[in-house]
Amino acid sequence: MVSATRGRRSPRPGVRGPIVVFAPARVDLAGGTLDLWPIYCLHPGSTTVNAALRMGVKVRLTPGGAPAGCIRHVAPSAPPLTLTRADAGRHLTAAVGFHVVPEGGFAVEVLDQPPVGSGLGASSAFAVALGRACLALVGRRIPPPRFVSLLRDLEARVLGVPTGVQDYVAASTGGVLAIHLEPGGERVERLAVATGWVARRLVVVFSGVTHASGMVNWDVYRARIDGDASVVRALDAIAGAASACRAALLAADEARVGHAIAEEWAARRTLAPSVSNRALDAILNAGVRAGAMAGKACGAGGGGSVIFWTRPDLAASVAREALAAAPAGAFEVTGGLTTRGATVRSGRATM
């Protein structure tokens, strides 16, 4: 990490040294892809159901850690980068950092993150963590709905494809959520179900196969906007399954939750050929044979992580059999769920 020297910005008043932020990743149980505008406008009643993981992204922002007009980015297994405003269209750190702190003059170090392409919303969790750190640096607050919209739009600019909102919401608020996708903006409902009850029935496995969710979603997006009848039917079915999943979670009905997740995946598989592949199918089939009520790929699919919904007494065997069927590099995501969203620490204070 570059230390502050002559010619570099000193910390702003009120900022005592580095700012550390943790933002959770997420698993989506049902209703992914519906959170893309204007997809949810075309499917009234669209809802996305997800839950925040204890695994996530931790960043450290150091004021004065780069020259004025620059941001220094340090991440594991990658060479350090010095970014300028010219990089804001291609690098998420520059896009978020310079939007909130136009003059730059700081360093950001990624201390922990899920694997790239994990399908757990890691890039969005990074955007939330960085955004919150930058806001703390300048002493600003942005209302949660506006903050989510800002990060969605900045990441879409970098990726060059539409992005949804579910990842930013989970990273910002934590908990088990139903995100009601309504004209004019999303309405976030924190579901009255114990995270421990959900976590004991949820197995999450990183498949070892990375993916680019934006591109998988883009295939579906184009087909829906073009009016592909099969995609319209599938998204209608996904919306119905997500609503059923929400209701089942509120009732703490494990069988109905499993049925809703299974229905969601059955419909999602028909959206596009890129949603699943042999490796994912092998993992999912192995987990179901071991007793899981349902399994599905996280996010847009195509790789990344998969989830299983199972009776608690079968969770260990489901994870073991799924991993046995997975390629090298697969692992179980452990640690459970969290009710806390992004947490900012400046000096010894928590904001």
Question: Can you give the pLDDT at residue 208?
Answer: 87
Q: Using DSSP, how many helices (H) and how many strands (E) does the chain show?
A: 11, 13
In tens, the pLDDT along 18-47 reads: 999 999 999 999 999 999 999 999 999 999
19-190+338-350 adopts what CATH topology? Ribosomal Protein S5; domain 2 (3.30.230)
Residue 50's nearest CA partner among 328, 323, 304, 246 is 246
Angle between helices 229-250 and 254-268 in degrees, nearest 10? 170
**How far is the C-alpha of 48 from the C-alpha of 180, rounded, in Å?**
7
For the chain, the structural domain boundaries read 19-190+338-350, 195-333
- Using the 8-state DSSP alphabet, how is residue 273 labeled? G
Domain spanning 195-333, CATH class? alpha beta
- Using the 8-state DSSP alphabet, how is residue 42 labeled? H
Exposure string for 104-126, b = 16+ CB within 10 A, e = fewer: bbbbbbbeebbbebbbbbbbbbb
Q: H-type helices in 43-193, by residue range?
A: 92-100, 122-138, 144-159, 166-173
Question: Can you give the pLDDT at residue 192?
Answer: 97
Question: Can you give the pLDDT at residue 348?
Answer: 41
In tens, the pLDDT along 209-219 reads: 876 666 677 88
- Who contacts 242 (Cβ-Cβ below 8 Å, separation ≥6)? 29, 30, 31, 34, 46, 47, 48, 49, 178, 260, 264
DSSP-assigned beta bridge partners for residue 17 = none
Lookup result for tokens 């969790």: 125
Residue 343 clears pLDDT 60, i.e. is over it: yes
Question: Can you give the pLDDT at residue 7?
Answer: 35
The percentage of the chain sitting over the pLDDT mark of 90, rounded to a whole number, equals: 81
> Averaged over 97-122, what is the pLDDT?
94
- Who contacts 42 (Cβ-Cβ below 8 Å, separation ≥6)? 224, 232, 235
